[in-house]
Amino acid sequence: MRRAWGFGGIGLIALGGLSWVGLEMSARAHLESPPPSALLVDRTGAFLAQLAEPMAGAGGAPRLDYGFWPLP
């Protein structure tokens, strides 16, 4: 009986700690949607190409991005 109370207490402490970590993560999360890319289509509406947008990259260097989140 005593061991069950001990495991229950440890479980409640762990649950509280994980809840706190989850709240901290959600408070710090920031997602920003990039502008959509322009699509080049022919006169029948068939896709031909996706046009990139020039944006500032790391260190201010210019880089071409499409309208999705770039992978690191």
- 2-6, 31-35, 50-54, 68-72 — which is least confidently predicted? 68-72
The pLDDT of residue 42 is above 80: yes
Q: Where are the domains of the chain?
A: 1-30, 32-72
Tokens at 40, concatenated: 């080049």
Strand partners, 47: 41
Mean per-residue pLDDT, 37-62: 81
Higher pLDDT, 37 or 20: 20
Alpha carbons 69 and 72: distance in angstroms, whole number? 9
Mean per-residue pLDDT, 13-32: 91
- The answer to whether the pTM exceeds 0.75 is no
The fraction of the chain above a pLDDT of 70, given in percent, is 86
Strand partners, 12: none
Distance between start and end Cα atoms, the chain: 51
Look at the block and give the residue holding tokens 């022919």: 42
16: Cα separation from own chain's centroid:
25
